[in-house]
Each structure stands twice: as C-alpha cells, then as structure tokens.
Amino acid sequence: MNTKLTALLQLADPALPIGGFNHSGGLETFVQQGVVNNAGRLKEYVAVQLEQNWVYNDGAYVSLAYDAAQAGDFERLAEIDRHAVAAKAPREIREASLKLGVRLLKIFARRETTAIVQRFQTGMAQQEAHGCYPVAFGLIAAVLQQNKADALAAFYYNAAAGAVTNGVKLIPLSQMDGQDILFDLHEAIARAVAASLNPDPEWLGAACAAADIRAMQHERLYTRLYMS
C-alpha cells in the first residue's frame, strides 16, 4: 500500500475539518454581481485564479515553504509566512488563511513531531510566525516527504475543487457541470504546478486586483452564504 499517497490525499482532502468549505475567496461577490453566472464563466474564473493569482500567491508560498521546511530553516519559513500574510490585502482572505493554517497544523502536528514542525509551532506561540494556510501546507507536505510536484498538484486541485464546489452552489449548477469543469481544468493545474516549482521572486505576491476588490466587497453583501 502506498502510504505516502494516502497521507497526501488526507492533507489535500476538501473534507478536512479546517473550515475551508466556509470560504469562497470572493467568488460569492462575483456571482452576486452577475460576473460569474454560468458553467463557462465559472471555469474561466477558476482558470484565471490558477494561472494569474494562486500561482504567484498561495501556490508559490507552498513551494517556498516546502523548500524551507526541507532545509529545516525556521527563519526562512517565518519570513515566507510573514510575506504571505502581508500579500493578502483583503481582511477576510487574510483571516481565512490564518484560521485554515492554524487548524491544519493542529491536525497534523499531533503526528508529525519533527524538529521543524515543533520549532514553527513555538514560533507561532511567540508571535514570530502566523501560520497561514499555504505555508502550513508546504511545511506538512515536506515533513511527510511528499514529492514537491505532487504536493503542489494536490494543493491546486484542492483550491480548484473548492472554488468549483462553491460556484455550483452559488450560481447554481448541476454536480455534473462541476465535474466537467474540473476535467477541463486538468491542464491549467499542470501549468500552475510547473510555474510554481521554482517561483520567480519578482512575481511573488502579485496582485489580482479584481479578486481582491470582490473579496473586500464581500463583507458588505446583502446576503452571504460564505465567510469570505
């Protein structure tokens, strides 16, 4: 049995009890404004997030955190964590990332007691690090000895599947529409993985203004199903 694959599936499981299903990342605003209103627009939205947003933000931070954790370099890991938090301009998105990261670490740190995990937790307790979600994911993927490309693919699939699931509920669409969108996103996920294996520091944290604005507008929507 491939226990390493099982561990990666658990790490990237959308049903992991960290609260990810509560957050739309600004998608709810796009839907209410009529920008994302059918299957084609939802697929376009997620593809743009993959290739113009996540690849320079959360995906890049997963990659960098993975490298720092493999090297056992807490100072670098904490630096990446601070950068990732600072790059999240919308308050709801920033707070969501911190909640998800802390909960992810709470689950896996009980079993993965390596020195770098313990040091990172100590750093969080001493306010040397925040523990945002992509950094926590990269850290845990590294200590689980996952292949980096596989870990990134799992991370991006989790993010894409979450967005598609939210879109299916919000628009609404059929579950089959959602699966067709995920089939069509396979190549976009592969391109995102390739682009973030070695992130370009000049592009790190690049803003996706439309997504940031919708995320900021989210808290003022008349009705909301999601927290972000």
Predicted confidence at residue 225, as pLDDT, reads 86
Confidence of residue 20 (pLDDT cuts 50, 70, 90): confident
Kindly state the helix (H) or strand (E) to which residue 13 belongs, with its residue range: none
Sign of CA dihedral 134, 136, 137, 143: positive
* Count of CB atoms situated within 10 Å of the CB of 1: 5
Predicted confidence at residue 189, as pLDDT, reads 98
Q: Which amino acid is at 182?
A: L
pLDDT over 80 (residue 41): yes
Predicted confidence at residue 226, as pLDDT, reads 82
Express each pLDDT in 78-133 by its tens digit.
Answer: 999 999 999 999 999 999 999 999 999 999 999 888 999 999 999 999 999 999 99
Predicted confidence at residue 13, as pLDDT, reads 94
Give the chain's radius of gyration (CA, Å): 17
Q: How far apart are CA 41 and CA 181, in angstroms?
A: 10
In degrees, rounded to 5, the angle at the alpha carbon of residue 176 between the alpha carbons of residues 171 and 180 is 95
Predicted confidence at residue 228, as pLDDT, reads 87
Q: In residues, how long is the chain?
A: 228
Q: How far apart are CA 152 and CA 189, in angstroms?
A: 9
Predicted confidence at residue 1, as pLDDT, reads 58
